[in-house]
Amino acid sequence: MGLESRELNRIITNISSDIDFSGVVHVKQGEEVLVHRAFGCADRSEERRNDIHTRFGIASGCKLFTAIGICMLVEQGKIDFHTPLADCLVIAFPHVDPQVTIHQLLTHTSGMPDYFDEEKMSDYEELWKDYPVYRIESLHDFLPLFQEEQMKFPPGERFRYNNAGYIVLGLILEQQTGRTFTEYIETEIFKPCGMMNSGYFSMDRLPRNTALGYIDEEEAGTWRTNIYALPKQGGSDGGAYTTAADMIKLWEALFRYELLEEETTNKLLHPHRAVNEEIHYGYGIWMNKKDGDIYKYHVMGYDPGVSFRASVYPGLDVKVVVPSNKESGPLEMTKGLEEILFAEEIRK
């Protein structure tokens, strides 16, 4: 028994109204698109509405792309998941254990210092007071933010979400391929998947039909775009732009083993590290387990003016993608949809 599109649309409409949602909701079961709807404005000043083909920034939602790229290098024999950092990157990190491995970088267990240290700051925009966003045009431009810092803990000791670790993975990919990270991902992942509306676009050169990210200043009753709040161009830790439909294509290609061999895909999707009793982390991807089984794979991203959720529910053969050009909304929308998805599963 399939899901009821009418009920899904009703829930989506109600949630959108309650939270003033701005973005796209795409729900697909099997080969059937159940919902593909857009809400809010891509450009508030010009009153240009979002549509189902609008591109959105997805912040850390694209760490999965980096992980897939690294897995491709493993399949090519250039590196192994247990290759030490010292054997695959010539850049010096004076205080980092050279035995940190690819696996540990992928699973946020390396212990490396992060350029956005949540123990020292809570506002991502604070990073750019002394190091302007317009100077961030390549992965190497991130190095001064963490290269000289001390290790946080011994490699492999525990899970600690780490953006800098994914910058390092991108640098490894660049060194091992002789290509820029963004060109590699766009050519080797986006193009084969048919993700023709996706890319790592510079914020001062956004292509047609791209949503501007908005930061709402509720106390003042005003808003501003996020152009001064994020690096000029995204990279291996986040910052790609995509459409909801393109992200569905990525999910389908990944789970059909069209990007990686089945064995490598299974390693990427394996719950390598427990974050808590239910949530685990693979390679660039989160997963939720219940009674020993994975019932949800997902990626997410949050930046000033950006929020994103994309989920796969294997037991239901359902994929949900919710990008937004505001700082909230996808989580609430995804939770509301899950209530319907799993209520339907219980009724079967």
Residues 83-135: tens digit of each pLDDT: 999 999 999 999 999 999 999 999 999 999 999 776 666 677 777 877 888 88
Domains in the chain with CATH codes: 5-347 (3.40.710.10)
Percent of the chain whose predicted confidence (pLDDT) is above 70: 97
Percent of the chain whose predicted confidence (pLDDT) is above 90: 88
Mean pLDDT in the chain?
94
Residues 165-186: what's their mean pLDDT?
Answer: 98
Nearest Cα to 91, choosing from 143, 131, 165?
143
Question: Is 347 a residue whose pLDDT tops 50?
Answer: no
**Top-confidence range, 19-28, 118-127, 220-229:** 19-28
Q: Which pLDDT does position 3 carry in this prediction?
A: 72
Convert 17-42 to b/e letters by CB count within 10 Å (16 or more is b).
eebebbbbbbbbbeeeebbbbbbbbb
Distance CA 202, CA 148 (A): 27
Q: Which pLDDT does position 118 carry in this prediction?
A: 64
Question: Is 55 a residue whose pLDDT tops 90?
Answer: yes
Q: Where are the alpha helices (DSSP H) in 231-278?
A: 244-255, 262-268
Residues 188-206: what's their mean pLDDT?
Answer: 97
Q: Which pLDDT does position 121 carry in this prediction?
A: 64
